[in-house]
């Protein structure tokens, strides 16, 4: 419950994802840069700017990174650089948790499977994806359903 005059905790959510569906050896330097900039650098810089200006100043706060299951398991459909960038987010979460604990700041990371969006349409049509991940949701139904 919010009490008048109480200091509110600040929440920063880093939620961005750019994915290119192609084999690793076919990526250009520009595509690699786009993936790492969007999936890792943007979240890193947001944290750098938010820490002194807002999070630490309030005396308490939370940072939530949205990673991906691809950072934890190999999805093997041409996403090595995406997986690496999201894996970097996972490690950044752990490192900042230790570094910023003294400032009463928490960091957490959520690593969902693919979520139906126009960006993930190809994944949901890829039968190989289902075979590789063999994912089930909490009700035991096919993840593509």
Domain boundaries, the chain: 10-115
Please give the order of strands across the beta sheet that includes 10-14: 10-14, 61-66, 105-110
At 91 the pLDDT is 96
Question: What is the reported pTM?
Answer: 0.78
19 is catalytic: no
Domain range 10-115, CATH class: alpha beta
Active-site residue, selected from the candidate residues 65, 82, 100, 114:
82
d(CA 123, CA 116): 9
112-145 pLDDT, tens per residue?
A: 877 777 877 776 676 666 555 555 444 455 544 4
DSSP H stretches of helix in 41-126: 42-50, 56-58, 80-100, 121-125
Q: Are 60 and 9 in contact (CB under 8 A)?
A: yes
At 8 the pLDDT is 66
């Amino acid at each position: 419950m919010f009490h008048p005059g109480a200091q509110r905790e600040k929440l920063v959510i880093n939620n961005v994802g750019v994915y290119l569906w192609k084999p690793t050896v076919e990526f250009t330097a520009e595509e690699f840069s786009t993936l790492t900039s969007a999936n890792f650098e943007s979240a890193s810089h947001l944290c750098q700017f938010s820490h002194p200006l807002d999070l630490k100043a309030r005396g308490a706060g939370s940072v939530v990174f949205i990673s991906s299951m691809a950072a934890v398991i190999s999805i093997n459909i041409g996403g090595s650089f995406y997986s690496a960038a999201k894996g970097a987010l996972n490690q950044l979460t752990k490192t900042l948790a230790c570094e910023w604990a003294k400032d009463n700041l928490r960091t957490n990371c959520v690593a969902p499977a693919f979520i139906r969006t126009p960006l993930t349409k190809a994944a949901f049509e890829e039968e190989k994806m289902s075979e590789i991940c063999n994912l089930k949701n909490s009700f035991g139904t096919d993840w593509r359903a």
